[in-house]
Structure 1
Amino acid sequence: MSTPPQPQQPADQPPAQRPAVPPQPTAYPYPGPQSPAPGNFYAQPTQVSLPAQPLPGQPQPGNPYAQPQPYGPVPVPLSGGGGGAGRAVLWAVVGAVVASGAWAAGVFLIGGKGDGADLRGFAAPSNMCSEVDYSSFKDEYPEEDSKPTHSSLEDKALDESYCSVGLKKTGSSYADAYLTTQVDLHRKTDPAPEFTATWKNYGASHTGYDVDPVKGIGDEAYLVSQDTTSGSRYATLAVREGWVTYTMSYSAYLTSYDQDKNPPRLTEVSDWLKADTKSTLEKLKG
């Protein structure tokens, strides 16, 4: 799960106080079930009892698709006369049992979602900077960044693409603000629980940030922002759509602006992030 990128400070400008990002908690803080309790040398590991075997005709535990056999034992035809009729009865019963199993398998394989990742047609480009739309920022920052940075990752568990662009006002030699974007395609695990836990509660784990849910973008979205009077102005829009997560972050240092010029208000930045995120996600689906 990606956390919002921190603003960058040009090398020859006075340093500004960066928002502190506390370390994230580990995902598994509890001891294993066989580990003795800390400080108790007499605690014994828990004994694990094996589950009882299922009775005949009952579904196997842990397998919701295993159906009980409704027909009972298959009758064996008597020897002697009428063998043909007996075999017909035998194969009719066997065919019914097979058909029942095939129906259950068909519901699982065709009707369900299976184990596939819910990527909604998204792709992670090798060069995110060539795909991201940030046209809403161009009126405020018309100068192009000649050397934006980007990176990408392609793996069977995760596809990722990242871009960082320096935003410049007219006549600026250095970036007045920064815009970063990142898309992650989670191929093995559903990111929804961790995404919600990270962004919905971001204000509780990071002091000084405001968190607002955003409707109408993806399945779930949050706007995280911070505005300091002497340091920085910062906003991130985090979106989840299916098993795809996307972030677009803006950061500006107030010290990089002339005294007679002010950076855009957070309300303006928030509107720009929402508009450009929508258009970028549409492009990544193409």
Structure 2
Amino acid sequence: MISDPELDGTGEPRPTEHAERAEEPPPHEGAVGARRPWLWALGGAAIASAVWAGGLYAFGDRLAAPDLSYRATENLCQDFEARALGRIAGDLHRYRPRNQHDDHPAVRRAVCDLQNGENVSTFTVRAQVDLHRKTDPGPEFDVPSGWFFAESGGVSTEEVPGLGERALLLVEPRSTSVELKVLHGGAVFTVAASGRGSEPKSPAEMAALRAAVVEDGRALLAALKK
């Protein structure tokens, strides 16, 4: 049996208690809880932005394109004359110099391999130029190349003043190998020479080899300077 709604003093129906509760606004705690995920999201976005900005600031030098004050070359053997090393080992351009180049978007590389014999040689030289277009090569500059030193354990490193921003001379006396590395902006120059023989070189011969590598490296930088 359905009863009539209660009447107030005016004769109008009075809303039931259930209807009164339905019209009440939601509790204050519920409103705060509904907004809480948005607060977390905003806070997380702010933290992420701060971390990203800090990362850009810390690694700005690495992200910026390095300065290049040297021209590219497609025939490094023509630019690398190796006159000082030629006085030690003879004419190194006589026996079919091997020239290579790669125009990669990140690093433009040119390589020249020389030797003092046709089929059998006792002296080999490699010159290499890497022009880095995207990132600064400075942090990896101290890592030696694997051409001479992959199996050696007695490599000594010498600083060469007055050549580029930094210049290192790596010497491995047991295999008569010397490597010069020069860093200048985004350019890395490498001149490496190795003599083959059963007898180790004398200190005077090694000193002459180091001096020749540095002299020819300096001439290569001058030849490719813009």
Report how far residue 131 of structure 1 moved: 0.7
2:58 maps to 1:118: no
Distance 1:246 1:262, change over 3 A: same
Q: Which of 213, 218, 222 is the aligned partner of 1:282?
A: 222
Question: Which position in structure 2 is the counterpart of 1:160?
Answer: 109
The 8 Å contact of residues 62 and 135 in structure 2, kept in 1 or not, is answered as no
Distance 2:78 2:45 in 1: 59
Match for 1:214: what amino acid?
A: V
Report how far residue 264 of structure 1 moved: 7.0
Report how far residue 182 of structure 1 moved: 0.5
Report how far residue 256 of structure 1 moved: 9.4
Distance 1:157 1:225 in 2: 30
Q: Calculate the TM-score normalised by the size of structure 1.
A: 0.52
Count of aligned residue pairs for this structure pair: 173
Distance 1:237 1:126 in 2: 21
CA-based RMSD: 3.4
Question: Which position in structure 2 is the counterpart of 1:220?
Answer: 166
Q: Between Structure 1 and Structure 2, which shows a larger proportion of helix residues? A: 2
Match for 1:158: what amino acid?
A: V
Distance 1:194 1:173, change over 3 A: closer
Distance 1:188 1:252, change over 3 A: same
Match for 2:115: what amino acid?
A: G
After superposition, residues 42-61 of structure 1 pair within 5 angstroms as 51-52=43-44, 61=50
Distance 1:193 1:131, change over 3 A: same
Distance 1:114 1:208 in 2: 32
Question: Which position in structure 1 is the counterpart of 2:186?
Answer: 243
Identity %: 23
Distance 1:254 1:234, change over 3 A: same
After superposition, residues 21-60 of structure 1 pair within 5 angstroms as 51-52=43-44
Distance 2:109 2:207 in 1: 29
Match for 1:187: what amino acid?
A: R
The 8 Å contact of residues 252 and 263 in structure 1, kept in 2 or not, is answered as no
The 8 Å contact of residues 133 and 186 in structure 2, kept in 1 or not, is answered as yes
Question: Which position in structure 2 is the counterpart of 1:76?
Answer: none
The 8 Å contact of residues 227 and 233 in structure 1, kept in 2 or not, is answered as yes
**Bigger radius of gyration:** 2
Distance 1:151 1:277 in 2: 18
Q: Calculate the TM-score normalised by the size of structure 2.
A: 0.65
Unmatched segments (≥5 aa) in structure 2: 1-39, 55-59
Report how far residue 142 of structure 1 moved: 2.8
Question: Which position in structure 1 is the counterpart of 2:205?
Answer: 265
Match for 2:122: what amino acid?
A: D
Distance 1:114 1:256, change over 3 A: closer
